[in-house]
Chains A and B, each alone.
Chain A
């Protein structure tokens, strides 16, 4: 299941449309890290609304992806984590934040968190 990636100005939007296997996730990571420079993107939006489970592997892959994309000069925003999924992630002991710079930051007076609804 390949994740479609759209280019919208300086932003790449990846919309996950079904449950992803580990190889799908790695494939998505490869594709985004590659395209970010090609497309001269400043930001990446990953919409995970359709993901019904975010386990340790998925979280780790997303976090590493944000790291790599950062190194390639763009920001990553993960949108659409389901409330139930967020709760399960926290119970599992995962938080995507912490040392990878996912803290909410301020930009033009408005809070811009790394995750948005």
Chain B
């Protein structure tokens, strides 16, 4: 079945294909006929499909009832898309579906799997119906297959897009959580960094620190990197730049908890150690910071 050629000036984006409606009239009629068939045998075909899903051990995170309920909706949306040749409703539905099932841990292969199963169930039922008239079966399948493939595509793409959106959202949340700038005393901030630092996180970290210095009018900042095993050269350079930028805002930076590997990296890239104020551990760093700020911590007994 040849697709109508696209006018060059209106070349569609990759996810938009020419509408099925534009196909020749006989195809529309055939689709109409097969939609009628699918509607007529809805109960039986839907049942068969749900059965296949369970047998193929797909959607194991969901109960039988849930699978049946979703199967009903997918079936109806599927037939609707075949009938109208428009995919917006199906797109919306597959996004909603994905939104519901992604938190349940449903995988991409399961979603693609169930849609392909439905395609096969319906195809077999068409076989059964038209087996006597092979030429007609051929034409019916010509009409059915491209539409069915597009449906499978739409659902799969919808699922993947939704999952990517969720991942992006989670990454954003993690990034925000991962660099807390804490005020421990008047004008003293602590920035504990835990885990791997990539360039993007390094940027975020610097940004939060610089604004934290400004907001809290900090004079001393202790950056504790005990929880960072290693950093690459670009992140090491970034750390040095952060220290310098902080100084321009009037804050002295003390870096604590450098691992042997990080110390090695800093020396290898030739960091001017005169610019880096480093103390062995976080406690030592805070003590040094307090000295710089003119605090003296003494036991109560001594103070009295």
The stretch that binds B, out of A3-11, A12-20, A28-36, A82-90, is: A82-90
Q: Can you name 11 A-B pairs with beta carbons within 8 Å?
A: A83-B214, A83-B249, A90-B244, A97-B247, A109-B294, A113-B247, A113-B250, A115-B247, A115-B249, A116-B249, A117-B214
The stretch that binds A, out of B120-128, B153-161, B204-212, B257-265, is: B204-212
Binary flags per residue of A89-117, CB closer than 8 Å to B gives 1, else 0: 11100011100000010101111010111
A83-B214, A111-B292 as given contacts; A91 in contact with B241, CB under 8 Å:
yes
B215 nearest in chain A by CB position: A117
Chain B min CB distance to A54 (Å)? 9
Chain A min CB distance to B202 (Å)? 12
Question: Any chain A CB within 8 A of the CB of B1?
Answer: no
Chain A min CB distance to B113 (Å)? 49
Chain A min CB distance to B116 (Å)? 51
Contact of A95 among B207, B211, B244, B250 (CB under 8 A): B244
State in angstroms the CA–CA spacing of A108 and B293 once bound together: 10
Set of chain A residues within 8 Å of B213, measured between Cβ atoms: 83, 117
Contact yes or no, A117 B210, CB < 8 A = no
Contact yes or no, A116 B210, CB < 8 A = no
Binary flags per residue of A53-82, CB closer than 8 Å to B gives 1, else 0: 000000000000000000000000001011
Chain A min CB distance to B212 (Å)? 9
- Size of the B side of the interface (Cβ < 8 Å), in residues, is 23
Contact of A87 among B219, B220, B241, B252 (CB under 8 A): B241
A83-B213, A83-B249, A113-B250 as given contacts; A90 in contact with B241, CB under 8 Å:
yes
Contact yes or no, B250 A116, CB < 8 A = yes
Chain A min CB distance to B192 (Å)? 20
State in angstroms the CA–CA spacing of A96 and B248 once bound together: 8
Set of chain A residues within 8 Å of B249, measured between Cβ atoms: 81, 83, 86, 115-117
Contact yes or no, B252 A83, CB < 8 A = no
Set of chain B residues within 8 Å of A111, measured between Cβ atoms: 219-220, 252, 292-294
Within 8 A of A (CB), among B253-304: 292-294
Set of chain A residues within 8 Å of B245, measured between Cβ atoms: 83, 86-87, 89-90
Set of chain B residues within 8 Å of A106, measured between Cβ atoms: 292
9 closest residue pairs by CB, A with B: A83-B210, A116-B250, A109-B294, A86-B248, A86-B245, A90-B241, A115-B250, A90-B245, A90-B244
A113 nearest in chain B by CB position: B250
